C-alpha cells in the first residue's frame, strides 16, 4: 500500500491520502472482518482490577522506598561538587521520582505524584549544578516526606495547597 520510500513523509507535500486497511486484528481474533462487537471476559476484567488493588496495597511501602532513595541520594549529592558520581545520583533521583509519579498516580497518591512529577520535570530542565537548585530540591523532598508521613492523598485539600504553595515559592524565588 505504501510506496516503501524511507523519505515518504518528507516527500509528501500536497493533498491527502486515505488508507482503508483490512481489519487484520478482527480477522485474527474472530476469523472475519465484520461481526458483532467484542468484549473482554468480565471475570478477567475483575481479576485485572484485583491486581491493581494488590499493587495499591503495597503502594505505600513502595513509595516510601523510593522516597528514602531520593532522600539518601540527595544527602550524598550535596557533598559532591560534580563529576560522574553526581550524574549517577541525579539519574537515580530522576528514576525514583518518575516511579513515585507513576505508581502514586495509579494508586490515588495524587499530591505525592504531583511533587514527584514536579521534581522529575525540574531535573529534566536543569543539571542541578547551581547552588540555588538545592533549595528547590530540598523543598520537593520535604514536601514529599510530609505528604507521605501525613498520608495526604488528594491534591486539593488545604494542607495540600499549603505544601504546593511552599514548593512553588521555592521554585519562583530560586529559579
Partner 1 sequence: MSSDKPIFPKSEPVTYNLGFLNILLAEDSIPMQTLLASMLRTFGVGDVLVCGGAKEAINLLTITQARRKANDIRGIDMILTDWLMPDGSGVELIEWVRNHKEDDIKFLPIILVSGYTTEKVVKTARDKGANESLVKPISGEKLAHRIISVIDKPRPFIKTATFFGPDRRRKTENFKGNDKRKIKSEEIKVYHEQQ
| Smallest gap from residue 70 Cβ to partner 1 (A) | 15
**Residue with Cβ nearer partner 1 (38 or 81):** 38
| Smallest gap from residue 12 Cβ to partner 1 (A) | 6
Q: How far apart are CA 143 and CA 137, in angstroms?
A: 10
**Residue with Cβ nearer partner 1 (56 or 135):** 56
From the list 155, 133, 131, the residue with the least C-alpha distance to 143 is 155
From the list 152, 138, 144, the residue with the least C-alpha distance to 99 is 144
| Smallest gap from residue 54 Cβ to partner 1 (A) | 9
Contact 100, 113 (CB under 8 A): yes
**Residue with Cβ nearer partner 1 (71 or 155):** 155
Residue with cell 525514583: 96
**Residue with Cβ nearer partner 1 (113 or 141):** 113
Q: Which residues bind partner 1 (CB under 8 A)?
A: 1-2, 4-6, 8-9, 12-26, 28-30, 33, 35-41, 44-49, 51-52, 55, 62, 91, 94-95, 98-99, 101-108, 113-114, 117, 120
| Smallest gap from residue 131 Cβ to partner 1 (A) | 26
Q: How far apart are CA 44 and CA 46, in angstroms?
A: 5
Q: How far apart are CA 158 and CA 4, in angstroms?
A: 57
**Residue with Cβ nearer partner 1 (3 or 82):** 3
b/e burial code for range 27-40 (CB count within 10 A of at least 16 → b):
eeeeeeeeeeeeee
| Smallest gap from residue 173 Cβ to partner 1 (A) | 25
Amino acid at each position: 500500500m505504501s510506496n516503501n520510500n524511507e523519505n515518504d513523509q518528507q516527500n509528501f507535500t500536497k493533498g491527502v491520502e486515505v488508507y482503508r486497511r483490512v481489519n487484520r486484528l478482527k480477522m485474527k481474533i474472530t476469523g472475519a472482518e465484520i461481526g458483532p462487537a467484542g468484549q473482554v471476559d468480565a471475570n478477567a476484567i475483575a481479576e485485572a482490577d484485583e491486581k491493581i488493588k494488590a499493587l495499591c496495597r503495597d503502594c505505600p511501602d513502595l513509595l516510601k522506598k523510593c522516597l528514602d532513595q531520593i532522600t539518601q541520594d540527595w544527602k550524598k549529592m550535596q557533598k559532591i561538587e560534580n563529576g560522574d558520581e553526581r550524574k549517577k545520583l541525579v539519574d537515580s533521583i530522576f528514576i525514583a521520582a518518575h516511579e513515585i509519579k507513576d505508581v502514586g498516580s495509579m494508586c490515588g497518591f495524587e499530591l505525592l505524584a504531583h511533587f514527584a512529577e514536579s521534581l522529575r520535570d525540574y531535573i529534566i530542565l536543569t543539571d542541578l549544578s547551581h547552588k540555588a537548585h538545592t533549595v528547590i530540591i530540598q523543598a520537593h523532598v520535604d514536601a514529599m516526606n510530609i505528604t507521605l508521613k501525613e498520608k495526604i492523598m488528594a491534591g486539593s485539600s488545604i494542607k495540600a495547597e499549603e505544601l504546593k504553595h511552599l514548593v512553588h515559592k521555592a521554585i519562583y524565588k530560586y529559579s
